[in-house]
Amino acid sequence: MNVLIIGGNGQIGTRLCKKLKDSEHVPVAMVRKEEQISKFQKKGIATVLADLERDFSHAFKGMDAIVFTAGSGGDTPKSQTKVIDRDGAIKAIDEAENAGVSRFIMVSALKANRSNDLWSDAMQHYYEAKAAADDHLRKSDLDYTILMPGRLTNEDGTDKVELKKKIEEIEGRTVPRDDVASVITEIIDTPSTFGMSLDLLQGDKTIEEAIKALDTK
């Protein structure tokens, strides 16, 4: 599969490109700046230059799947979170439908589909943006999976996760970005995950075991 990674230059996106390249899939990193292209060229990874704030429909040509892992970042204004995490994601969903690319994985956030009583004041705008984009995806005709990882770390991946429709015990728990990328790589062509919204944290099951366990839920 040709997989467009929107947010390919981000921390999860960079890891995902490498993992997909080592699999049977072909990653294409969507980047916003020309100077970011060489980073991927050195690794033999294709890129497409496009900006979520402009017309980026050309990036979907020839793609079989889309992964949206772009984010405005913690140091950007609240308005930019709406532009990227909400509006950019919604545009990407619509573009996928227009281009006939049915498989779509959204990297969202743990708690985005839960009561807003759990959202801190400082993070409310972020969760609102994520929730709006996720809701738009659920209403689409795409073969989607919404992945909702908890607090992300840069620790080495363990390939041991907890992956469920709802994880009850979430406070104080984290998940390495490397494991998020590994989960995406495994589920990209797994029909049993279509139409699912899944919490993701570090756990005690292998990724393969955790995915298989979804079939029994």
**Confidence check: pLDDT of 217 > 60:** no
Average pLDDT over residues 71-86: 80
- Look at residue 189 in the predicted model and tell me its pLDDT: 96
Structure confidence by residue, pLDDT tens digits, 46-67: 999 999 999 999 999 999 999 9
pTM for the predicted model, two decimal places: 0.94
Instruction: Give the CATH number, domain containing residue 105.
Output: 3.40.50.720
How open is the CA angle 184-189-193, to the nearest 5 degrees?
70
Q: Could you report the per-residue pLDDT of 158-186, keeping only the tens digit for each?
A: 999 999 999 999 989 999 999 999 999 99
- In whole angstroms, what is the distance from residue 115 CA to residue 198 CA? 16
Q: pLDDT category, 125, cuts 50, 70, 90?
A: confident
Give the Cα separation of 187 and 93 in Å (integer). 18
The domain of 210 spans 2-216
- The pLDDT value recorded for residue 6 is 98
**pLDDT given at position 121:** 72
Whole-number pLDDT of residue 4? 98
pLDDT over 70 (residue 107): yes
Provide the annotated active-site residues: 126
Strands of 25-70, DSSP E: 26-31, 46-49, 65-68
State mean pLDDT over 104-122: 84
Helix, strand, coil shares of the chain as percentages rounded to 5?
40, 25, 35
Q: How confident is the model at residue 114 (pLDDT cuts 50, 70, 90)?
A: confident
Q: Name the domain count of the chain.
A: 1
Give the Cα separation of 114 and 171 in Å (integer): 14
